[in-house]
Amino acid sequence: MDRHDRLFPQPLDQRTTRHGLYRCVVTGVAGFIGSRLATRLLHEGWSVVGIDGFTDSYDPAEKRARAASLSRIGGFTMVTGDLAEMALEPCFDGAEVVFHLAGRAGVRASFDIEPRYVHDNVVATRAVLAAARTAGVRRVVYASSSSVYGNGPTPFREDARPEPISPYGRTKLEAERMCLDAADGDLETVALRYFTVYGPGQRPDMGLRIFAEAALGGLPLTLFGDGTQRRDFTYVDDIVAATVSAADADASGLAVNVGGGSSVTLLEVMDLLRRLVARDVRVQMLPVARGDVHATEADVARAVALLHFRPQVAFEAGFRAEVAWVRDRRESAELEEARSA
């Protein structure tokens, strides 16, 4: 595909590769964001090879359920394995783009099990880049993180000096640098710095889901810090839209912020949660957790220019959708329990 075709892609039904359909790889496909991305790509007519190692970062049953849903959509092939150890070239053969979302996420755990973070974020990314080059992949889109900025001045701009304050942030930055350094005439790369992604399907170790689960269960919430921390929450479908755009964006060797544009304090999250669950929510405050930054806020000028990024979902609507999803899950689990009792 030449540069003109890349900038002005053909209609989807005419996009073909030597393997037939327009083909891509999604690593971390059984994850929160990877599964949502793959669903969208499949519905847009791509053929998707999904790779996941079903790691123990949280209950693998949740990941298996996402992979099972994807397998019901035509055009999807699931490959199970650890990116750092498997033969990747056969999976990448004929792929136009590799969306590299596999990784070990989460700041707090990274202080306790740093070697796992190095393995899943750094070693795995090195393997992905090497295989992408050998297999002749056109572009690797990498899921980087706002954690690379640490406690830098807000709003975060891509040309600021990254100063991660956790092993998670450091491993994401190292992998991002490998991706950007790999860009040349044969291989294009883009690193998207995602800002706190939320919405239905969110990882069970993430704040909003933990808060929603506790509030719906009538349990007190634990808040690390005084609640004045701000997060630039980004709805998962907005992240997915930016990630799909990155496949064809006129950029390579570049990092791009992807933030939802709603910088909200955790105290504001609590207030909204009380309204959404229509009951009081007790909050227990503990000292700030290690590695937690005080505020994140994305400058998205680059994403707007290169990815035509326009977040569609405001925080209140997005959190309402997540709380509804958590409620549905809880009700299904209760029904299941009652049935098997």
Ligand X SMILES: NC(=O)c1ccc[n+]([C@@H]2O[C@H](COP(=O)([O-])OP(=O)(O)OC[C@H]3O[C@@H](n4cnc5c(N)ncnc54)[C@H](O)[C@@H]3O)[C@@H](O)[C@H]2O)c1
Instruction: Give the H/E segment covering residue 76.
Output: strand 76-80
231 part of the interface to ligand X, by CB under 6 A: no
Decide if 323 contacts 276 (C-beta within 8 A): yes
Which 53-112 positions form the footprint of ligand X (CB under 6 A)?
53-55, 57, 63, 82-84, 101-105
Decide if 157 contacts 299 (C-beta within 8 A): yes
How far apart are CB 254 and ligand X at their closest, in Å? 17
The residue number whose beta carbon is nearest to ligand X equals 31
300 part of the interface to ligand X, by CB under 6 A: no
Size of the site for ligand X (CB under 6 A): 29
Catalytic residue among 168, 194, 198, 235: 168
How far apart are CB 190 and ligand X at their closest, in Å? 14
Distance CA 208, CA 189 (A): 31
By C-beta, is 124 or 183 nearer to ligand X?
124
- Of the candidate residues 92, 117, 156, 194, the single one contacting ligand X (CB under 6 A): 194
Distance CA 50, CA 52 (A): 7
Would you give the binding string for ligand X spanning residues 115-154, x where CB under 6 A is met?
-----x---x------------------x-x---------
By C-beta, is 122 or 183 nearer to ligand X?
122
Which 210-229 positions form the footprint of ligand X (CB under 6 A)?
none
How far apart are CB 293 and ligand X at their closest, in Å? 13
- Of the candidate residues 22, 32, 149, 315, the single one contacting ligand X (CB under 6 A): 32
Q: Left (φ > 0), alpha (ψ -120 to 50) or beta: where does 247 sit?
A: alpha
By C-beta, is 138 or 203 nearer to ligand X?
203
230 part of the interface to ligand X, by CB under 6 A: no
How far apart are CB 116 and ligand X at their closest, in Å? 9
- Of the candidate residues 196, 229, 257, 262, the single one contacting ligand X (CB under 6 A): 196
Decide if 248 contacts 306 (C-beta within 8 A): no
Reference 307, options 250, 235, 240, 232; nearest CA is 250
Tokens 């990877």, located at residue: 34
Residue 65 CB contacts under 8 Å (≥ 6 apart), including other chains: none
39 part of the interface to ligand X, by CB under 6 A: no
By C-beta, is 38 or 223 nearer to ligand X?
38
111 CB-side CA count, 13 A: 9
The answer to whether residue 235 is catalytic is: no
Would you give the binding string for ligand X spanning residues 155-184, x where CB under 6 A is met?
-----------------x------------
SS3 63: helix
By the 10 Å C-beta count (0-12 exposed, 13-18 middle, 19+ buried), 74 is classed as: exposed
β strands within 146-273, DSSP E: 188-194, 197-198, 221-224, 230-235, 254-258, 262-265
197 part of the interface to ligand X, by CB under 6 A: yes
28 part of the interface to ligand X, by CB under 6 A: yes
Distance CA 321, CA 200 (A): 6
Reference 46, options 63, 64, 29; nearest CA is 29
* Binding residues for ligand X (CB under 6 A): 28, 30-34, 52-55, 57, 63, 82-84, 101-105, 120, 124, 143, 145, 172, 194, 196-197, 203
As annotated, the active-site residues are 168
